[in-house]
Amino acid sequence: MPQVMEFKLPDLGEGLTEAEIVRWLVAVGDVVAIDQPVVEVETAKAMVEVPCPYGGVVTARFGEEGTELPVGAPLITVAVGASSLPAEAPAAQADGAEGEGAGNVPRPLIGYGEDHSRPARRRRVRPVTAAVSAPVVAAPAAPAVPVAPAAPAGPVPVISPLVRKLAKDGGVDLRALRGSGPDGLILRADVEAALAALRAPEPAPVAAASSPTAAQGERIPLKGVRGAVAEKLSRSRREIPDATCWVDADATELMAARAAMNAVGGPKISVLALLARICTAALARYPELNSTVDLAAKEIVRLPSVHLGFAAQTERGLVVPVVRDAQNRNPESLSAEFARLTELARAGKLAPADLTGGTFTLNNYGVFGVDGSTPIINHPEAAMLGVGRIIDKPWVHEGQLAVRKVVQLSLTFDHRVCDGGTAGGFLRFVADCVESPAVLLRSL
């Protein structure tokens, strides 16, 4: 006999607590294989296809496209052991049973690990009303508050422990609700509607109902990548006492060195890769800037490896992919990795691991046609090097006024990890390498 298994939104890693449904890859009644992707979700870090650890027939989907779900909320239910969906079968059942046979044992979700924190329990929800809703479970846009005339006897039709907790914290009696889900299942939207009704203020007089300012302006939800960026930058401003120093540098010799490298054939070397290699050499001299502050322990932690982040603008907003162990890479390897991560970023296919763990950031805002900036440090890092556009400017070279290719470099740093002398020394070394790339040979 088929066993209905509920698959919840897994922990996608790196402290993510919620995700938005972008696109369903299966429909109710579809047959899915173990580890087959069933939904595409957008987290604060990346777009992710979520595979299902069960094989069978999809009996219900929880949430429409555009719905934001917390980690642990139900995604779909699958009838394990069924080859097709029976016509008389209910649209959704709450059956988190531990399988008795090998085919019913939940497999670990690929890439997310297995949860051993609590044993599996078997629980079946029986309908409390005769009404059966559509198989696809969706939270209505503005649900009414369906209150039954009397509290029915028997078990309360709730699957999600999050729904139970939400009701308990808000003082909502679940027995007094009639669920809008399959077989009267009480959904989060039902509880939220009841809470909204409880908290709703008395209706204001008609004359004062319309506010001239409330209706003006477009409201854009601060969520997804934009929300994550806002939270991270706000935290950086709250916690990090940053300072910025800058210098103009003659990049003529650096551009000539790049042209010579690319003239010999092979993969092209980017300017960003050369600047990244200069950064890793500078961080070897000034390791204070490749560190983080542990507020709980009141310690500065100097990090042994340089995981170099670089700012990339995409349709989803600003993201900062990370090149691992950049100190061990040459310009050719750095160019290839920058190109690979940039392509994934623009396609929205970066994994959460590609966007976390950075220790220092290189920000090339020259691509936007600007000369300088005072960027906000990418928390919890300690510094960021900014690079402006490289343009022809009058410059005194060997005692003569000449037109040279000039760039502005700026360093924003956490004043807790070092003083101005260290920051100035770092930036001066970077500028010297830009002006005379042969200086870099001393540290290779």
Residues designated as active site:
415
Distances (CA, A) of 379 to 241, 323, 415: 12, 17, 14
Non-local CB neighbours of 401 within 8 Å, separated by 6+ positions: 394, 395
**CA 233/CA 228 separation, integer angstroms:** 9
Residue 296 structure tokens: 């709980």
User: What stretch of H or E contains 279?
Assistant: helix 271-285
d(CA 161, CA 140): 20
Whether the Cβ atoms of residue 56 and residue 78 lie closer than 8 Å to each other:
yes
Residue 384 and residue 140: Cα distance in Å, rounded? 45
CA 375 to chain centre: 21
Q: Which residue pairs from 423-427 have beta carbons closer than 8 angstroms and sit at least 24 positions apart in sequence?
A: 423/243, 423/245, 423/289, 423/383, 424/245, 425/285, 425/286, 426/282, 426/283, 426/285, 426/286, 426/289, 426/383, 427/245, 427/246, 427/247, 427/385
Q: Which residues pair with 69 in a beta bridge?
A: 19
Helix (H) or strand (E) holding 127: none
- Which residue spans within 81-191 are E strands per DSSP? 136-137
Phi-psi region of 14 (alpha: psi -120 to 50; beta: other; left: phi over 0): left
Residue 368 makes CB contacts below 8 A (sequence gap 6+) with none
The pairing of strands 3-8 and 18-24 is unpaired
Q: What gap in Å lies between CA 363 and CA 384, rounded to an integer?
A: 7
Residue pair 323/400 in contact by the 8 Å Cβ criterion:
no
